[in-house]
Amino acid sequence: MIKKIKQTISEKILLTFLILLGIGFFGSYGLIKNKCLFVKKYDPQKLKFEKPENIAILNVPCGNVIIELDPNVAPNSVKRFKILIRSGEYNNVAFHRVIKNVLVQAGDLEFGKKDNLNYSYIGTGKSSLGTIDSELDKPFDFKKGSVALARTSGKNTEDSQFFILLKDAPLFEGEYSPLGKVIYGLDVLKKIKYNDKVEFVLRPDFINSLKCLNNLIK
């Protein structure tokens, strides 16, 4: 009788242990799968901006990234960026180049669309508007959060592709046409999918939408 009671108690302890182990495993798995769990969310309609006409809202898998554009530094670059934003060209476009804790790059409208992803050419594509000249004359601090147009080759080949810095890059000054800076949500970009071994990402994350703030206000 005593032996049976001890056996029952042991079985209950073992069962409880297995249940707790299972809860811990699936809880940890859930945290790993939900990479956005502890990322702060920003609602642009609840924030105040000095120049709302220069605010762009980049929505990505983990939330909103709020960008303040600076047309005083690179007017033609910002104009091009706004044209493409307002036409909805950036929606569902891949973050095709991601360097962990350094930068994220997107905007290949030719080969980076979700419904027409081309791994052979991604990173070389452009928009239908053609290239524009580089704007490098005015000083701009390429600090963490800076946004700029990328180039497909040498200078004066800027078009639709852009990058956002996740760390300071002072050597970029005078090399890339600046667009502005991230003022909210930089941590959101640190959750963008990356590859430890190469810069270009297989099965990348995508831009959900990129809009001007004025388009969001009813």
Domain boundaries, the chain: 1-34, 44-216
CA–CA separation, 122 vs 154, rounded Å? Answer: 17
Average pLDDT, integer, range 82-95: 97
**Does an H or E element contain 22, and which?**
helix 2-33
Tens of pLDDT, residue by residue over 101-135, are 999 999 999 999 999 999 999 999 999 999 999 99
Tens of pLDDT, residue by residue over 166-213, are 999 999 999 999 999 999 999 999 999 999 888 999 999 999 999 999
Instruction: Determine the longest span between alpha carbons in the chain, in angstroms.
Output: 91
First to last CA, the chain: 76
Sign of CA dihedral 92, 98, 102, 107: negative
Query: By percentage, how much of the chain surpasses pLDDT 90?
Result: 76
Q: Determine contact, residues 52/168, Cβ cutoff 8 Å.
A: no
At 31 the pLDDT is 38
Cα–Cα separations (whole angstroms), residue 122 to 48, 68, 158, 162: 37, 27, 16, 13
Confidence (pTM) = 0.84
At 2 the pLDDT is 52
Q: Which CATH number fits domain 44-216: 3.40.190.10, 2.40.100.10, 2.30.30.100, 2.40.37.10?
A: 2.40.100.10
At 7 the pLDDT is 52
In this predicted structure, the answer to whether residue 28 has a pLDDT above a threshold of 50 is no
In this predicted structure, the answer to whether residue 25 has a pLDDT above a threshold of 60 is no
